[in-house]
Structure 1
Amino acid sequence: MSGFTWHGGRLAEARAVYGGADWIDLSTGISPLTWPGADRISVDWRCLPDPHDLAALEAAAAAHFGVDPDHLCTVPGSEAGLRLMGRMLDMPGRWRLPSYRTHAEIFTKGHPIAAGEDAPREAVALLLANPNNPDGRILPPARLLEWLVGLERAGGWLIIDEAYADAMPSCSLADVVGDERRLILLRSFGKFFGLAGVRLGFLIGPRAIVAEARRMLGEWPVSAAAIAFGRAAYDDRAWIEEAIVALAERAAQLDEVLARHGLAARGECPLFRLVEVEDGPALFDRLARRAILTRPFEENRRWLRLGLPGDAIALARLGRALADG
């Protein structure tokens, strides 16, 4: 089980353990609604990424997030941006539990704080995800602003991993970012647009932080393909609005199937649901034997996380597998 509890997307390992070919992968929080424009984009692999194209990508992403492009820089995935922040800030860290396993690896020194604890008011970097993973909770912006003020007074920083915020834009603090605020946001491209393999993300923060991040990453932080895909996708406002609505509808459909089989879905993020059962690994195994891959957790064996099924057929297969106890 150790490999499956580390992160999702281990289909090759699942096939090796359980066999089968026609798998449904519900082990990640990646949207099943893939942005359709990627197939229409041609990339010249003979050339280095063009700085003007990178600037155009950042302008499109900044417009999407509602920030000035000077407060944003491109990173090769939001996790890479988080690890960069851990090095740049060079101060003790705190991270809220439960959350991404890799959050504990961002800082060289620090310790976690429980979900029920208030934010520290000291010179530390507080890292949290909003919407959170794996439980899908959303902290209201008003509370986050209170925490930010307390951290600023103590000389600390608030770092928010907003990898899932595109599906719920109202929870983002992008409109608060500024040179006078000790606030840094990380955004992910692949989760909402269903293109995780592109490895594209953004760091949003004060211009001094952004400038130092750009210096450390160099002139070519991401590939020409990532630039082309991201620029076109962020400009596709109609698809983005449609996807936000469709994801909420699909999450409601998943909730109905889970409830029908006695499973109460937790979380507000529409890209995944967490259920609590008596034996999470046992349910994982039962579904895997029916070629449905989910996400168990080593730290809490009562949890199982399920991503959104890609279509009605996959949702029906999940329902049948849950019924076949």
Structure 2
Amino acid sequence: AACAYYGAPALLPVAGTQAAIQALPRLRAPSRVTVAAPSYAEHAHHWSLHGHSLRQAGYSMLDDAVQDSDVVVVCNPNNPTGDVVPPAVLLRWALALAARGGWLVVDEAFGDTAPALSVAAHAGQPGLVVLRSVGKFFGLAGLRLGFVAAEAPLLAALADLLGPWAVSGPAQHIALAALRDARWQHAARERLARDGARLRDLLADHGIQASGTPLFHWWPEDRPEDFHDHMAGHAIWVRLFRQGARGIRLGLPSRERDWDRVEHALQEWTKR
């Protein structure tokens, strides 16, 4: 069911992509690793362990980073900025890295709303590792289920490291229903695209030029701590980024009254 949904030739189910993020660095000898930044912090954290040499690079610098790295890790679309790398570029990077025994790790956890960006269909080739999650698009974060697409020897090594029974029976049952429900998936993509555009326009109406995905928006903020505290005072929780690219990530309101609360809070912020 997962191979059909993601279009991948082979997949390994894991207890959330976090399990793979923690395990993959243990499957390589000490390597030169570049992690795209800013992005999900757990990638850089775990590649900094196990003897690897880690650096972080902005998306505009990744093309150069491929030339002198053994492993490159990129989120596509990126969390939190929404930056994307075209599939043709990713596949070119994967070939260059594979030629010297390297890996391109592509985290597509937020890729369900932009399936044309996915390179999972090519993950049978050497050097390309793709991570997918049911936690974001399907809203099943507590299920602890993700998938890794890669060539067979790497999947076998990862499975051996993680051990048996990585995914619970209830998680399997729920995931089968989600992955096979094409009607719900289509409706969800349409709803998220509509709501994502609405959020972008709402932010723009209050002077905030944001980027992101249909699921969230991000922007650099001069006073991110103040904005975070202001929204929290209105019972709205945003993601605060204090280091590196200082900014704010805001997810989608779920109900009309919540949209009204966000708009009111933004109006109060612009008056400060």
Query: Is the TM value for this pair above 0.5?
Result: yes
- State whether residues 78 and 201 of structure 1, in contact with CA within 8 Å, keep that contact through their aligned partners in structure 2: yes
Name the CA shift for 1:300/1:312 in 2 (closer, same or farther; >3 Å).
farther
The answer to whether structure 1 residue 88 and structure 2 residue 32 are counterparts is no
Aligned identity (percent) is 37
Task: Give the partner amino acid of 2:90.
Answer: L
Name the CA shift for 1:182/1:302 in 2 (closer, same or farther; >3 Å).
closer
Spell out structure 1 runs of 4+ moving beyond 6 A: none
Compute the RMSD of aligned alpha carbons: 1.4
The answer to whether structure 1 residue 63 and structure 2 residue 8 are counterparts is no
- State whether residues 224 and 242 of structure 2, in contact with CA within 8 Å, keep that contact through their aligned partners in structure 1: no
- State whether residues 95 and 104 of structure 1, in contact with CA within 8 Å, keep that contact through their aligned partners in structure 2: yes
Aligned mate of 2:60, from 103, 116, 125: 116
Name the CA shift for 1:140/1:313 in 2 (closer, same or farther; >3 Å).
same
CA distance in 2, matches of 1:72, 1:151: 21
- Structure 1 residue 312 displacement after superposition: 1.9
The answer to whether structure 1 residue 157 and structure 2 residue 97 are counterparts is no
The answer to whether structure 1 residue 299 and structure 2 residue 240 are counterparts is no
| Deviations 1:18-74 (CA, angstroms, capped at 9, x unpaired) | xxxxxxxxxxxxxxxxxxxxxxxxxxxxxxxxxxxxxxxxxx111101123xx2111
| 1:240-251 aligned within 5 A | 240-251=185-196
CA distance in 2, matches of 1:322, 1:226: 38
Task: Give the partner amino acid of 1:74.
Answer: P
- State whether residues 279 and 301 of structure 1, in contact with CA within 8 Å, keep that contact through their aligned partners in structure 2: no
- Structure 1 residue 89 displacement after superposition: 2.5
**Which residue number corresponds to residue 22 of structure 1?**
none
| 1:126-275 aligned within 5 A | 126-178=72-124, 180-267=125-212, 269-275=213-219
Question: TM-score of the superposition, structure 1-length normalised?
Answer: 0.77
- State whether residues 122 and 155 of structure 1, in contact with CA within 8 Å, keep that contact through their aligned partners in structure 2: no
**Which residue number corresponds to residue 277 of structure 1?**
221
Listed as ranges, the gaps of 5+ residues in structure 1 are 1-59
Task: Give the partner amino acid of 1:81.
Answer: A
Question: TM-score of the superposition, structure 2-length normalised?
Answer: 0.92
Listed as ranges, the gaps of 5+ residues in structure 2 are none
CA distance in 2, matches of 1:152, 1:248: 35
Count residues with an aligned counterpart.
262
| Deviations 1:181-234 (CA, angstroms, capped at 9, x unpaired) | 210111111111011111100111001111122222222001111111111110
Task: Give the partner amino acid of 1:89.
Answer: R
CA distance in 2, matches of 1:181, 1:323: 51
CA distance in 2, matches of 1:149, 1:82: 21
